[in-house]
Chains A and B, each alone.
Chain A
Amino acid sequence: MKRRNLALVTLLLVIAAITLVFAGASSGRTKASTPFKVAWIYVGPHNDGGWSQAHDNGRLYVQKMLGSKVQTTYKENIAVGSQFNQTVASLAAQGYQMIFATSYGYITPAIAAKYPTIKFEQATGTLVSKNVSEYFGRAEDTIFLSGMAAGYASQTGKLGDVLAFPIPEVIRHANAFTLGAQYAHPGATVRVVWTHSWFNPAAEKKAAQGLVAAGVDVLGQNVDSPATGQYAESQSLPWVGYDSDASKFAPKSWLTGSVYNWGLYYLKRVKEAMAGTWKPGFYYGTINDGFTKLAPYGPGVTAADKAKIAAVEKKMENGTFYEFQGPLYDQSGKLRVAKGVKMQVLTGGTNSLYGMNWLVKGVIGSPKG
């Protein structure tokens, strides 16, 4: 009897102690005059070596440039949907004033309306409203250039591309890669395999193996892990990456890759928000404003090729060259974009960059996945 009472009392005391600890410290801590709080939300891990990591590098850049004037944080592996909303709720409760959401589908009109004082910025989306701004950029330009490097490196003119999902963003990038390869190596073809995942090293390696077995001699990708490159290295084949400089994964195979430099945009917008001059809009970055560029070349790119690529890049910068300018044919040979017509970002239905759902001539594979 006595022992049981003692145990009960002890248990109650423990519970009471724990409750006191939690209730003791108040949740409404007074905050000293605060640095500007801005948060990033990633769909994958911050160190994935790909998409999310590129954004995190941008965040670190902002932190570095603005020092104690800002307080930055990130949330990783946040699912689209209610998990995102929860994360925003908790960030709001902690006083964050600006949130960069790095994936389409994160920001809904409802969540934006619920927190009218928070400035939302979303990557790759289309929603623009009073407190929501969109940002992305012309990766297709640098992907075209990286495709050129791939085309030059190919002996047979048969290239391969490892792709994620058959959505316009990826299709556009695959088309840019193909057009670039064909510019460098006329008549080149690009075989594509869809992994149905943004980040899946095993699936990407299998895709790469399939492509090589089918006869390609250069590999490219629009997915986030360097597995394709590791496989290319093991087969001594050239490789073009995406998202970030992943040359360390395949030092001999690495040619180059299209890289995002989110930091410059982030710095600009954070400064604007801090100064009160922030306005929502649709930002589509270019090579000129530093949004995208080519990663440093690997050993397999000749000086002559570098010069040719640089020449085209210069023309892109001064507006005399645009890869998505007609005539453009689809896989069946039909003329989709008339000669001289430039594809726009948002307007033009399936002939717009954001609406493109067809693959250009020379791509072997289905745009439906």
Chain B
Amino acid sequence: MNNALLVVLVASGVAYGTPLLFAALGELLAERSGVLNLGVEGMMLVGAVMGFWTVQRVHANTGLTLALAVLVAALAGTTMAAIHAFLVITLRANQIVSGLALTIFAGAAGLSSYLGNDLNVADQPASHSFHALLPSGMQSLPVVGPILFAQNILVYVSWLCVIAVGLYLSRSRPGLNVRAVGESPAAADTMGINVTAYRYAHTLAGGAFAGVAGATITLAITPQWVNGITGGAGWIAIALVIFAFWRPELCLVGAYFFGALQALAPQLQARNINLGPTVLWTNSLPYVMTVLVLVVVSSGTARRRLGAPSALGTAYVREEH
């Protein structure tokens, strides 16, 4: 029962979708404040390597070490985001190019590779890693066992984050403020909202989430460090935010959908089921599907109703008189 294809796919979707979810939540926060950060891949990679390094160097009990590692990863991501934030908020540089520069700087040919090699963390299993949290009795319950109860604590934390971000954006004062900042910074400014501070705060928060997303990969999913271990997940996360109409709960659905999509081909292969005319078709499927989803989601009517923050991607200049 629990090895049925659908159950396995959904369970894989949850597991592999978690880094996507964290990264998407972070990017969602940044974009809600009007800052587009394309450097998610780079931030995830730096978070991944620093989180892994912490686990290898700190000698304390498992729980403490892992918690510290996640914290370090979040800080690493925040630091990377700070560069982007400074450039695009204070210096008003082009957000697209700055984000790409961050990906190059921090990415698999840059800082994360530099750190991984200099800190000597390659070719080692993680000293501590996240395992399934709940007892195996619960894990083997039909259907819900593998899908809900066989996951590690980061998955459960991500659910809490979805709820928290959702409540933040819809019910709290700062949350409503940041939405104003993202829609129309000028109007928000005249209302007394400090646009700069909100943009900084949310971009940095985006970095923290991205760092945690990276750590999820090196500490939970494949507990080792290799260069470029995120394998493009950062870009999928950015697409995910659009797919989710900038809503946290839809980020969760989307993340698990993409996670399952990535696990589809190997699962079908193992069962000797031929999905398409060629292996090319099967391998391209996740990307093609993402493009299709983006097209549908971005098409005129849908976009107008539940759309992007209007001021996304533009620098805010307060006019001086």
Q: Is there any pair of Cβ atoms, one from A and one from B, under 8 angstroms apart in the complex?
A: yes
**Which residues of chain A have a CB within 8 Å of any CB of chain B?**
45, 47-49, 53, 77, 160, 191-196, 199-203, 205-207, 209-211, 213-215, 225-227, 230, 234, 248-250, 364-365, 368-369
Instruction: Check if A202 sits within 8 Å of B221, measured CB to CB.
Output: yes
Q: Contact residues of B with A, CB < 8 Å?
A: 3, 5, 8, 12, 16, 117, 122-125, 131, 217, 221-224, 226-227, 229, 231, 262-263, 266-272, 279, 283
B125 partner residues in chain A, CB cutoff 8 A: 226, 230, 248-250
B123 touches A364 (CB 8 A): no
What are 7 sample pairs from A and B whose C-beta atoms fall under 8 A apart? A193-B266, A206-B263, A210-B270, A211-B270, A213-B8, A230-B125, A230-B222
Nearest CB in chain A to that of B5: its residue: A213
Contact in complex: B8, A201 (CB < 8 Å): no
A200-B271 in contact (CB<8A): no
- On chain B, the residues within 8 Å of A48 by CB distance are 122-123, 226
Chain B: minimal CB distance from A20 (Å): 29
Report A251 CB to chain B, min CB distance, Å. 9
User: Least Cβ distance of A211 to chain B in Å?
Assistant: 5
Q: Which residue of A lies closest to B9 (CB)?
A: A213
A206 to B122, CA, bound (A): 21
Q: Are A206 and B262 touching (Cβ within 8 A)?
A: yes
Residues of chain A within 8 A of B131, CB atoms compared: 234
Contacts of A201 in B (CB 8 A): 222, 224, 226, 229
Within 8 Å CB of A202, what residues of B? 16, 217, 221-222, 229, 231, 262
The A interface is mostly helix, strand or loop, or mixed, namely mixed
B153 to chain A, nearest CB (A): 15
Name which residue of chain A comes closest to B129, CB basis. A230
Q: Are B271 and A210 interface neighbours, CB within 8 A?
A: yes
**B127 CB → nearest A CB, Å:** 11
- Is the CB–CB distance between A199 and B226 below 8 Å? yes
B122 touches which one: A49, A214, A234 (CB < 8 A)? A49
Task: Report A-chain residues with C-beta under 8 Å of the C-beta of B5.
Answer: 213
Given known contacts A48-B226, A196-B283, is B266 in contact with A209 (CB within 8 Å)?
Answer: yes
* Chain B contacts for A199, CB-based, 8 A: 226
- B227: chain A residues at CB < 8 Å are 45, 77
Q: Which residue of B lies closest to A230 (CB)?
A: B223
Known: A201-B229, A230-B125, A250-B125. 17 other contacts (CB 8 A): A45-B117, A45-B122, A53-B123, A77-B227, A160-B270, A193-B266, A194-B279, A202-B16, A202-B217, A206-B266, A207-B269, A207-B270, A209-B266, A210-B263, A226-B224, A230-B223, A249-B224
A56 CB to nearest B CB, Å = 10
